[in-house]
Amino acid sequence: MSVVNNPFTFKVQPENLLSSITKKLDADFEITENTYLSQKKINKLELLIQRKSNGFNTKLEIILLKDNQVELSSVLNSKKLNEKIGKIVILNSLDETPSQQNDNDFTEYLSPSFTDESLSLAIRFLLYRIEAEAEKNIINKRFSSLLNGLDDVIFSLDVDTLKLLYINDTAERILGISPEVLAKDSANIINYIYPDDIPLFTDAKRILQQKGRFEIVFRFLDKDKNIRWAEGRIKLMKSGNNKRYEGLVTEITHKKIAEDKLWSTQLRLSLILKYLPNVVLYETGAGHEYISDNIYRLLGYTAEEFLQDRDTFRKIIHPDDELVAESNIVNWHKSKNPEILKLEFRAKHKMGHYIWLEDYLVKVNSPNSKSFMAGILVDITQRKKYESDLLKYKEMLEKRVLERTQNLEQANKKLQSEIKIRIETEDRLMKSEAIYRLLSSNIPKSAVFLIDSNHHIYIAEGKELIEMNLMSTDLEGKKVSEILTEDQYNYLEPGLKSLLQKKPFRLESKYLGEYYLINFIPLEVKEPESLLGIVMIHNISDIKKTQIELKTRAEELMRSNADLEQFAYVTSHDLKEPLRMISSYIQIINKKYVKQLDSEAEEFFSYITESVKRLHNLLDDLLKFSRVSRPSNTRTLTDLNEVFHIACKNLELKVK
């Protein structure tokens, strides 16, 4: 190993030093450029060294003092030296070696009597160190770019001073304030937290000291002053005496909006099921096994009983209805685009009796899971009974009409026309009633309003809103008084007051030519406490029109019956007058010529007198029968001997 005294001091040529360096370099390194510079205080050899395996270039400076009188501090403080490149400084004496070196200072110091090996070792050390630092900077830039590209805000705080040590660029995109401004004064962040949520951070430091982590959900104001939701997680990190808070803030505004919509939907559904006790909601297939608790009120079975044994429902269907229902369901499943399937069948209650059910079945296609079926069961027992009663009434009415037409042939045409009108009117009424009950049970032709304690419309739903030229979005959030005229509000005010008193109330109203039945139903719910009640509006225009038409037809029928009764009365009176004349003259003839009549003539006069009496009685009976207001026919015992005797009397002359 040769010893090289200060080559520049002793006039050693730079190329000799360059040759010595080249020989000692590893084979993977190559000097691609070299420049010798002579300055006022120093001589400098600049080298550009490339690593062959990866093409990395490193700039290196070898600095030698011109004489022993040059101080090291003056050389290192020279602005002409590039501190970002590697430097090897050959000292005048060992006393000038710095006691501490900066981690970012790529400078090595050699004694005046350095060797080729020590110079080569210093060069290799600087080359590897500079390359490692460059790779570290690349990794840091990539990591910083990755952090800045995240949708989450990542930050670091000093535990003692709460000074912001780091925050990624996501904060600037959301809040509109740069990381540099936040770093100068971390307290600026408090201005972006929603005022009502600031107290949530009061115990953050205490919880972090105790548990080492703190989680919170809060609202904040973005750069446009819009309220948004965020979820924050902060953790206490310790490294020796160094302590800091590392935090991650994730925006959850979309999640909160989705949760609110889900809660609103669930609230609407629960309210509908609560106030329509004869309606049951169910789901089946693809793991969706659900049935609402109303099934107990409907069939006497609990929801758990149905879910534990899926054949329960099939077992309770009436045998006469089971095959038809199964066939309809199979054909419905085979359809490529199945619509809503409507079924009617009887089901056996747990107590043993049967009830009529209407089933609305729909196939639900979910983008994230297999399709399943959902349905609504509605109790239509009362509707079926009503339809049966109407059918019996119609049959009875037709029988009465037939009897009247057979006994009143003179008024047949007129009565037939009136009866036909009456039957058609009652048929329309029956259909209107049936349709109304069906639609009411499934909330068609209805609108439902959920009102809070301040008379704001919390929810507005229903198909009838469209018919009333109203939209849910235009109504929700507004006060009732804002969307009604003064007269309309005064008309509905008693119902709104009844909700405050927890009393149901109903009234009728007319709007845009339609008749409506308005029900005010107070709510008994704990959450939210601000909800006051439900206002349900049903369109009853069809029933009103039918009632008015039926009343008109009934009045016309009463007038017709009165005319008919008067006609029968006058007719019978006119017919009785000739009978009285015949009876009177028979009596006069009988008295005047009694002595001149033989026994056969007297018998003839008795026949005439008896026939006149029977005809008189027949006219009286006809008059009574023609009265519409007479009581319904009742069956009584009749002496057939007397009837036979009268018949014989009538046929006596023919028999003889």
Say if 555 falls within a structural domain: no
Last residue of a domain, one of 222, 251, 280: 251
pLDDT on residue 82: 43
User: Using one digit for the tens of pLDDT, what is the confidence trace for 198-252?
Assistant: 888 888 888 888 888 888 888 888 778 888 888 888 898 887 778 888 888 888 8
Burial call 302-319: b when 16+ CB within 10 Å, e when fewer: ebeebeeeeeebeebbee
Cis amide prior to 528 (ω within 30 degrees): yes
Residue 505, domain member (yes or no)? yes
Q: What is the number of structural domains in the chain?
A: 6
* Residue 554 lies inside a defined structural domain of this protein: no
**372 and 398 in a common domain:** no
pLDDT given at position 169: 78
Helix (H) or strand (E) holding 499: helix 486-500
Q: What is the CATH number of the domain that holds 219?
A: 3.30.450.20
Q: Are residues 41 and 132 in the same domain?
A: yes
User: pLDDT tens digits for 252-291?
Assistant: 888 888 777 767 666 666 656 565 555 555 556 555 567 7
pLDDT at 515 over 60: yes
Over residues 467-483, mean pLDDT: 83
Confidence of residue 432 (pLDDT cuts 50, 70, 90): very low
What confidence score (pLDDT) does residue 80 get? Answer: 42
Q: What is the mean pLDDT of residues 312-332?
A: 84
What's the pLDDT at 75?
A: 52
Residue 457: what pLDDT? 85
Average pLDDT score over residue span 643-651:
70
Residue 310 lies in a domain: yes
Same structural domain, 60 and 109: yes
Q: How far apart are CA 611 and CA 606, in angstroms?
A: 9
* 168 and 85 share one domain: no
Query: How big, in percent rounded to 5, are the helix, strand and coil portions of the chain?
Result: 50, 25, 25
Q: What is the domain range of residue 485? A: 443-539
- CB crowding 126-160: b at 16 or more within 10 Å, else e: bbeebeeeeeeeeeeeeeeeebeeeebbbbebebe
Separation CA 564–CA 417 (nearest Å): 14
Same domain, 205 and 126: no
473 and 435 together in one domain? no
Q: pLDDT value at position 337?
A: 66
Residues 60 and 187 in one domain: no
Distance CA 118, CA 137 (A): 28
Within this chain, do residues 434 and 472 fall inside the same structural domain, yes or no? no
Provide the H-helix boundaries in 149-203: 170-175, 179-184
pLDDT digits (tens, 9 = 90+) for 516-566: 888 898 877 655 557 788 888 888 888 888 888 888 888 888 888 777 777
Alpha-helical runs (H) found in 57-115: 72-76
| Residues 402/409, Cβ–Cβ less than 8 Å | no
| pLDDT for 9 | 41
Instruction: Please state, in angstroms and rounded to a whole number, the distance separating the CA atoms of residues 257 and 277.
Output: 30
The yes-or-no verdict on residue 72 having pLDDT over 80 is no
Instruction: Dig out the tokens for 633 from the structure.
Output: 């026919």
**Sign (positive/negative) of CA torsion 139, 142, 146, 147?**
positive
7 and 139 together in one domain? yes
Task: Read off the pTM.
Answer: 0.35
- The closest of 223, 136, 247, 210 to 173, measured between CA atoms, is 223
How much of the chain, in percent, has pLDDT values that exceed 90?
Answer: 1
Residues 435 and 514 in one domain: no
The answer on 38 and 93 residing in a single domain is: yes
Q: Are 267 and 333 within one domain? A: yes
Comparing 401 with 267, the larger pLDDT belongs to 401
Per-residue model confidence as pLDDT tens digits over 24-49: 777 888 888 888 887 777 778 888 88
**551 lies in a domain?**
no
Residue 550 lies in a domain: no
Return the C-alpha torsion angle 562, 567, 568, 572, nearest 10. 140
Q: Which of 210, 232, 251 is the last residue before a domain boundary?
A: 251
Binned at pLDDT 50, 70 and 90, residue 617 comes out as confident
- With a CB cutoff of 8 Å and minimum separation 6, the contacts of 287 are 369, 370, 372
Is residue 3 predicted with pLDDT exceeding 60? Answer: no
Paired tokens of 531:
């909800």
**Domain-ending residue, one of 379, 394, 425:** 379
Asked if residue 68 has pLDDT above 60, the reply is no
Quote the pLDDT of residue 94: 54
Q: Is the dihedral of CA 73, 77, 78, 80 positive or negative?
A: positive
547 part of a folded domain: no
- Mean pLDDT in residue range 136-145: 77
State residue 437's pLDDT score. 37
Report the alpha-carbon distance of residue 196 to residue 203 in Å, rounded. Answer: 15
Q: What is the pLDDT of residues 404-427, one digit of tens each?
A: 767 666 655 665 676 677 667 556
Q: Is 548 part of a structural domain of the chain?
A: no
Per the prediction, the chain carries an average pLDDT of: 75
Residue type, 273: L
Burial of 357 (0-12, 13-18, 19+ CB in 10 A): buried
Residue 1 to residue 20: CA distance in whole angstroms: 12
